Chains A and B, each alone.
Chain A
Amino acid sequence: MLKVIRSVLAAFFGVQSEANRQQDFQSTSPWKFIVVGVFMTLVFVFLVGFVAWLAAN
């Protein structure tokens, strides 16, 4: 699971080492990446929102 999160974070940042990428693409189903990806997007949005809220107050 932690590996998936790390891969998704790498994708967010846009940079991933070739070895890790090859490894990710060995897995048969993309679903865990999609679910974690969507979840992390929400986390990210809340994070930016939280920073904005902090800055405003």
Chain B
Amino acid sequence: MASETSQATLHSSVSDVAAGGAAHASHGPTGLLRWLVTTNHKEIGSLYLIFSLVMLFIGGSMALVIRAELFQPGMQYVQPEFFNQMTTMHGLIMVFGAIMPAFVGLANWMIPMQIGAPDMALPRLNNFSFWLLPVAFGILLSTLFMEGGGPNFGWTFYAPLSTTFAPPSTSFFIMSIHLAGISSILGAINIIATILNLRTPGMRLMDMSLFVWTWLITAFLLIAVMPVLAGVVTMMLMDINFGTSFFDAAGGGDPVLFQHLFWFFGHPEVYIMILPAFGIVSLIVPTFARKRLFGYASMVYATASIALLSFVVWAHHMFTVGLPLTAELFFMYSTMLIAVPTGVKVFNWIATLFRGSITFEVPMLFALGFIVMFTIGGLSGVMLAIVPADFQYHDTYFVVAHFHYVLVPGALFAIMAAVYFWLPKWTGHYASETLGKWHFWLSVIGVNLTFFPMHFSGLAGMPRRIPDYALQFADFNMISSIGGFLFGFSQLIFVWVVIKAVRGGRKAPAKAWEGAEGLEWTVPSPAPLHTFDTPPAYDPQTDSPSRH
């Protein structure tokens, strides 16, 4: 390992290591064991993506439990304590188990291929980062079967509900967060090392694809904030098991400190879940508009500004905790400002479409769906920044609508778009256009039926995280539940599409899309297990997305 890392900056020697690792894989263990010990970035990428899909369905089933209970007023199917476990686990699994690992999976597959590297810089670490995840989420899910049940305090786990008043399984929850956090940090280190050291000769930073750029910045965010999350759960662990009182007012502690720490992690975290999505959309839109991305440089700048600003807006999640007036104003202004670079992104995508030559293949449909619905979520974000109004919105279904718009038709649609976009490269076959279109349209209808009415129920006064509600909110909840089931079951089409493409289908050439650009389209489809064992030739004058 030591000799590997010391050589990691040298392109050719890393390619030896990667080849060595892969040789190990192909001549050594076979079957399941091969997947356990693989160090190949493509295989690990697939593992991440499959894991994330499994988590998507587990977390999704929990969402359907929630929506079933909320279909009508009154308690019908579950008890309040189980309902709380479902909302908590749904949030944790979707954030840490579905969205984040999916982006890491895409990074694993595509970053080396987009920068002309033979593999990730630290292949064995890569394997370790992945295998921490099934362990982490195995532990997390097992808490549901423990005495007293699993975590029931919301994915934001505010103390002291999550400490003094928490179920006994909470220490296991903390353990699983630690493991998932370590996995993220190691993954981020690997991505940074890869991007900074393994670019093919001639490729400068400003020549990298936006997916690589957004992931580079995301990785720095991860390294900056994951330790804060680790710190805060460790303080909880101490409060629960070792008699400290970090968050216990009775012992002189401070419950509000918890929220500051959590959101110092939490706000950058929401950008961790969206920046790579920005990168994906910035690749797909130019491809199917057959026109270069408008404002490559300003896209990079906007990503960097968002990342920096994301460290100074955290308390917009805490407007009602009673911060001093000056602090409220500061966080209101900074939050309004962060909306500007976010808007710039959207404008750039639209300027790219303008006077293009547009076709509507499935990846493009998902990317366009992303632009529209992410914008809706961004606009409700601007509303949430207005503090006096946020007093009315906060902790209602309006907030639930906001973050689901940015995360489901936002982050998740971008992931779907990416899968449809690169599936030909991964499997050698195009995904079925017909099924893909069904998947897209049913998802769009389902998502909007589910989440748009939540704006209304929230504004009218329905708090979030409640298993039962006043009669006034009955109509909107019924619509949301119907939409939720429609969306949930539509995702089975996606599974079917992927399985079909793996098994066969229309053959894809190396350059699977007419307007596609980038090194990944120069290798055959499906991409062989080893690509770019020797660095490809690269000329910024003709190949760079920022060329003139």
How many residues of chain A have a CB within 8 Å of chain B? Answer: 18
A25 near B206: Cβ-Cβ < 8 Å: yes
Binary interface encoding of chain B residues 301-342 relative to chain A, with 1 for a CB under 8 A from any of its CBs, else 0: 110110010001000000000001111011001100100010
Q: How far is the CB of A26 from chain B (nearest CB, A)?
A: 11
Which of the residues A12, A14, A41, A48 comes within 8 Å of B333, measured between beta carbons?
A48
A48 near B334: Cβ-Cβ < 8 Å: yes
Give Cα A25 to B205, complex, Å. Answer: 10
B297 interface contact, C-beta 8 A? yes
Chain A residues with CB under 8 Å of B304's CB are 11
B298 interface contact, C-beta 8 A? yes
Which of the residues B298, B312, B337 comes within 8 Å of A15, measured between beta carbons?
B298
B301 near A11: Cβ-Cβ < 8 Å: yes
> Can you add 13 more A-B contacts, CB < 8 Å, to A11-B305, A52-B329, A53-B326?
A12-B305, A14-B301, A14-B305, A15-B298, A15-B301, A16-B297, A16-B298, A16-B301, A21-B297, A41-B308, A48-B312, A51-B329, A56-B325
Which of the residues A11, A14, A15, A52 comes within 8 Å of B330, measured between beta carbons?
A52
Chain A residues with CB under 8 Å of B344's CB are 14
Chain B residues with CB under 8 Å of A25's CB are 204, 206
Binary interface encoding of chain A residues 42-57 relative to chain B, with 1 for a CB under 8 A from any of its CBs, else 0: 0001001101110111
Q: Which residue of A lies closest to B345 (CB)?
A: A14
A52 near B326: Cβ-Cβ < 8 Å: yes
Chain A residues with CB under 8 Å of B206's CB are 25
Give Cα A12 to B304, complex, Å. Answer: 9
Give Cα A57 to B329, complex, Å. Answer: 11
B27 interface contact, C-beta 8 A? no
Q: Which residue of B lies closest to A51 (CB)?
A: B333
B503 interface contact, C-beta 8 A? no
Q: Which residue of B lies closest to A47 (CB)?
A: B333
B341 near A18: Cβ-Cβ < 8 Å: no
Chain A residues with CB under 8 Å of B298's CB are 14-16
A14 near B302: Cβ-Cβ < 8 Å: yes
B355 interface contact, C-beta 8 A? no
26 A-B residue pairs with CB within 8 Å:
A11-B304, A11-B305, A14-B298, A14-B301, A14-B341, A15-B298, A15-B301, A18-B548, A21-B297, A41-B308, A45-B312, A48-B312, A48-B330, A48-B334, A48-B337, A49-B330, A51-B333, A52-B326, A52-B327, A52-B329, A52-B330, A52-B333, A53-B326, A56-B324, A56-B329, A57-B326
Chain B residues with CB under 8 Å of A53's CB are 326
Q: Which residue of A lies closest to B206 (CB)?
A: A25
Q: Which residue of A lies closest to B348 (CB)?
A: A14
Q: How far is the CB of A34 from chain B (nearest CB, A)?
A: 11
Q: How far is the CB of B301 from chain A (nearest CB, A)?
A: 5
Chain A residues with CB under 8 Å of B337's CB are 48
Chain B residues with CB under 8 Å of A52's CB are 326-327, 329-330, 333
Task: Please report which residues of chain B, range 333-382, place their CB below 8 angstroms from some CB of chain A when the two chains form the complex.
Answer: 333-334, 337, 341, 344
Q: How far is the CB of A9 from chain B (nearest CB, A)?
A: 11
Chain B residues with CB under 8 Å of A57's CB are 326
Chain A residues with CB under 8 Å of B330's CB are 48-49, 52
Give Cα A51 to B337, complex, Å. Answer: 13
